Structure 1
Amino acid sequence: MSHSVTLAAPLETVASPQLWIISIAVLLVLLAADFFVTRKPHDVAMREAVGWSVFYLTLPAIFGLVLWWAYGSKPAVEFYTGFVVEKSLSVDNLFVFMLLLGAFAVPSALAQRVLLYGIAGALVLRGVFIALGAAVLQAGTWAFLLFGAVLLVTAIKVMRDARKGEDHEVDIDNMRSVKLLRRFFPVTKEYHGSKMVIRQAGRRVLTPLAVVVVAVFMTDIVFAVDSVPAVYGVTEDPYLVFATNAFALMGLRALYFVLRNVLDKLRHLDYGLAVILAFIGVKLVLHWAHGVWTWLPEVPTLASLGVIAVTLITVTITSMLANRRDAAAAAKAGSTDPVPAGTGTPERESQGA
């Protein structure tokens, strides 16, 4: 007797059509509010960024409690676990966004508008990928094996790049999307506020803002390929996958301004992300294998949340310890450097420069 399963059972979901409509409407309202806040380009103060970050962390916390009250602990735990996965992956996204904004010399006052365009585009892309993922899962349990393989390959690449120190490198001149855009459209050398298209010498031309928005949008595609299967490794409910992605992305703009000065200090983050992606990949493969060989175990969602949380806490602590060790070594090396005769102390020398 064959144990293989060719067709999956219909995907269970906590969402009714009405809940989908309400959720999308709320999401559009939040996006509109963000566009209203960023209508006038301005430098984002830390107090403003922290306020919005707390707001966008409070929303999913309350949403999870509502899920628990209405549908029980299982979907709530799946939502919280998926949100933690998405949020940790979104922090990695911020590294690339930071490099893109720097490479395009985006004025600080325009950074939040660029991020908001990128987030809006990412939400659309995630919606498409979530729908495709649901369709693939509906076709058969082999999809879990496929998703697991994608995450394992990604985990290996992330770990290899992290060990080589080649992570987070962005060469905008070699980006296909940027090359294509510049080939067909003229681009001005300077920014013109928040405008992406202006009229110059009687013709419409793009501003650098349009180019960087396209670059951010294209990187969103790469991130969606990893993040959507990762959350499907936590829950098979398309609505919960959508909700985790939406909540994680909506707080990304404010989180950027909170973490932009400390992102480079999370030096071991990629190691943690590689472990998380590999763990979820194995979880998906085991889920597929359990349908073939029922004696094989499956990983409970609560255990997944514990592994993910411990991994993130561990890499944060090891990053802090490594930073302190390097700072102490640099201070020790500086204190032992000989001072050339006649120059006086370094402080006095700097004052006379």
Structure 2
Amino acid sequence: MSELSYAADSLQSVGTPSLWAITILGVLVLLALDFLVTRRPHEVSLKEALGWSAFYIALPMAFGVWVWQRYGSDQGLDFYAGYLVEKSLSVDNLFVFMLLLAAFAVPSVLAQRVLLFGITGALVLRGIFIALGAAALQTLDFAFLIFALILLVTAAKLLRDAFTGHEQAVDITNMRSVRLLRRFMPVVHEYHGTKMTVRVDGRRALTPLALVVVAVLATDVVFAVDSVPAVYGITEDPYLVFATNAFALLGLRALYFVLHAALSRLVHLTYGLAIILAFIGVKLGLHWAHGIWEGVPVIPTEISLLVIIVVLTVVTLTSLRATRNVVPGSKEVVTERK
């Protein structure tokens, strides 16, 4: 196989029908386990969050080793690079979740249940987008160009939001999903545990938990549109695309509580994500042009992985340096995230 992820051989998916079935079953089992853990609302201790986070980080690392040994270094690098891209995008997803949880004043004991609904919704939506992306790549010659444009536009939007601080604005009353729900059903002001609806004066009403879950699911759509083209910029294999998304999302519930204070200190993460998405967009554009004229250079996965690691390392270090004199989790830190 050549150094290109998009070589003709790569169209032969790593995922056999049996491997797809095992993977999907494994994802469902892990989701069911998470729902059992959150069945009784409780505040998550750092020890619990660290334990689950370690498990969900070790799992993809071991899986990547298996892919490397079974299918070769090219597929192994594709998986690790794709996983790193999806994990970095998921961390930004967590920051949006943090803003929503704060805006809706979600009790700490219910936070992980809201996160779990968001993660489940994200998995379903990304599965749909992955299937649509695979179909587009097989039927449309210019699909790579479309993906490239999506990523470049997204990168530009991220930079705009970073400079203007637009991503900080979470106005519940102006959210379309909230306004739509309020049109059809009344909403009570108090949370009622994990209940989405309650009966008030003989009429069914929504709880604030239902509103925040719908708001989180609405943000999942936006992130699915961004993340799926990004990982298709690393590998054309639908199975690896699904696996990287699943592994990146499954551990977010626990990771949120580990990074809750640190998330607000990653003030330069948006810049880093914009650079990574723009880079992958250029990579996809070059690949599309290479199919027309072989003289157009292409970017191998090894370079992509190096760029992703360097960018994430730099923005993490600069973020920590920029917020070194601010107390983690304070409002001052959050407002500096630009």
- TM-score over 0.5 (shorter chain): yes
Read off the aligned partner of 1:165 and give its amino acid letter: G
Residue of structure 2 equivalent to 1:259: 259
Deviations 1:65-90 (A, max 9, x none): 11112111111110100000000001
- 3-state SS of 1:304 partner: helix
Is the counterpart of residue 220 in structure 1 residue 191 in structure 2? Answer: no
In structure 1, what is the Cα distance between the partners aligned to 2:256 and 2:319?
19
Distance in 2 separating the partners of 1:137 and 1:275? 24
TM-score w.r.t. structure 2 length? Answer: 0.92
Distance 1:123 1:224, change over 3 A: same
Report the AA paired with residue 319 of structure 1: S
Distance in 2, matches of 1:170 and 1:220, equals: 15
Partner of 1:320: 320
Shift of 1:170: 1.7
Match of 1:296 in 2: 296
Can you list the C-alpha shifts for 1:217-265, whole angstroms capped at 9, x where unaligned? 0000000000000000000001111000100000111111011111111
Letter in 2 for 1:251: G
* Number of the residue aligned with 2:114: 114
Report matched runs for 1:173-322 at 5 Å. Answer: 173-322=173-322
Kindly tell me: are residues 112 and 310 of structure 1, through their superposed partners in 2, closer, same or farther at Cα, counting changes over 3 Å?
same
**Superposed counterparts of 1:5-44, under 5 Å:** 11-44=11-44
Contact 1:96/1:170, CA 8 A, preserved across alignment: no
Unaligned runs of 5+ in 1: 1-7, 328-353
Q: 1:293-323 deviations in whole A, cap 9, x for unaligned?
A: 1011111111100000000000011112222
Sequence identity (%):
67
Q: Contact between 2:100 and 2:212, CA under 8 Å: does it hold in 1? A: yes
Partner of 2:75: 75
Letter in 2 for 1:202: G
Post-superposition offset of 1:325? 6.5
Q: Are the equivalent residues in 1 in contact too, given 2:10–2:237 (CA < 8 A)?
A: no
Shift of 1:194: 0.6
Matched position secondary structure for 1:87: helix
For each residue in 1:27-54, what CA deviation from the matched residue of structure 2 results, as whole angstroms up to 9, or x when unmatched? 0000010001001000001111111111
Say whether the 8 Å CA contact 1:12–1:236 is kept in structure 2.
no
Q: Per the alignment, in what secondary structure is the counterpart of residue 205 of structure 2?
A: strand
* Residue deviations 1:112-149 (CA, integer Å, cap 9, x gap): 00000111111100000001111111112300000001
Query: 1:351 matched to which residue of 2?
Result: none
CA RMSD of aligned residues (A): 1.5
Match in the other structure for 1:99: 99
Q: What runs of 5+ residues in structure 2 fail to find an aligned partner?
A: 1-7, 328-338
Structure possessing the higher radius of gyration over alpha carbons: 1
After superposition, the Cα gap between the structure-2 partners of 1:261 and 1:236, relative to the gap in structure 1 and judged at 3 Å, is same
The number of aligned residues is 320
Instruction: Tell whether the 8 Å contact from 2:10 to 2:236 is kept in structure 1 after alignment.
Output: no
Structure 1: distance between partners of 2:132 and 2:266 = 33
Aligned pair in 2 of structure 1 residues 269, 10: CA closer, same or farther (>3 Å)?
closer
TM-score by length of 1: 0.88
Structure-2 change in CA distance of 1:163 and 1:72 (3 Å): same
Matched residue, 1:66: 66
| Residue 10 of structure 1, CA deviation | 9.2
- Provide the secondary structure at the position in 2 that maps to 1:265: coil
Q: Distance in 2 between matches of 1:278 and 1:242?
A: 22
2:177–2:218 CA contact under 8 A, matched in 1: yes
Q: Which residue of 2 aligns with 1:50?
A: 50
Alpha-carbon shift at residue 98 of structure 1 (Å): 0.5
Kindly provide the amino acid, as one letter, of the partner of residue 190 in structure 1.
E
SS at match of 1:43: coil
* 1:173-194 per-position Cα deviation (integer Å, ceiling 9, x unaligned): 1111110001101111101101
Q: Is the CA contact (8 Å cut-off) linking 1:35 and 1:116 kept in structure 2?
A: yes
Q: State the distance in 2 between where 1:171 and 1:9 align.
A: 48
Counterpart-to-counterpart distance in 2, 1:75 and 1:146: 24
